[in-house]
Amino acid sequence: MEYRKVNDADVDSWKEVILIYSSALKQISTKLEILNDEFQHVHSYNPIEHIKSRIKTSESIVCKLKKNGYESTIDNMIRHVNDIAGIRVICSFTTDIYRIAEMIENQSDINVLSVKDYIKSPKSSGYKSYHMIVSIPIYLSDKTVDAKVEIQIRTVAMDFWASLEHKINYKFETNVPEHIKKELYDCAQMVSDLDAKMLSLNEEVQQISQKNM
């Protein structure tokens, strides 16, 4: 993000940072809603079930900076914390995930900075999701700045599993007992099987519908 040098103690500067990231969330959320409406108009189908967005708390940002060895300054926050603004896009099927990602990439004013595909390459815990770090220009009255946003795209089933894992990790402060980790991993495999079966069922329904047209 292009940003003027500020003093950490300057409350107005912190407020301005939050304003910029909040604006970035609004812009990308609106883009996704429009794309979803267009998809409904053209294909009579909505790939997006719902959208969640959040701004990371100042406490969480400071913890992340310290964990990575950076001082708690606004400049470091902007440069080194990519998920201050976060959007989670929930869809029905795994094919929708890549369809939505492609639609985001095709937006002329969105710059994709990095991608992590935890669907094709899940984490060791079993976690699956599609992550994108993008930047989008925010037009203020006296300048234009680029704000980074993390976009996570996942199915309803993946989101249910990830939500449970997050609660368990929070409960045990990340020191989760091994037998619970194994149960969670097994559940992740069940989620993958469920997503595959639901996708297969949906494709069969689509084929039947096309034959009956």
Please count the CA atoms within 13 angstroms of the CA of 51 that sit on its side-chain side.
Answer: 21
Q: Are 84 and 58 in contact (CB under 8 A)?
A: no
124 token code pair: 């060791």
- The secondary structure element, H or E, covering residue 49 is strand 48-55
Q: Which one of 102, 150, 183, 204 is the catalytic residue?
A: 150
Instruction: Report the sign of the C-alpha dihedral through residues 14, 15, 18, 20, in that order.
Output: negative
- Per DSSP, the residues of 31-67 read HHHHHHHHHHHHHS--SEEEEEEEE--HHHHHHHHHH
Measured distance CA(141)–CA(144) in Å, rounded: 8
Catalytic annotation present for 150:
yes
3-class DSSP state for residue 38?
A: helix
Number of neighbours of residue 99 by Cβ within 10 angstroms: 17
DSSP structural state of residue 10: -
Residues labelled catalytic: 150
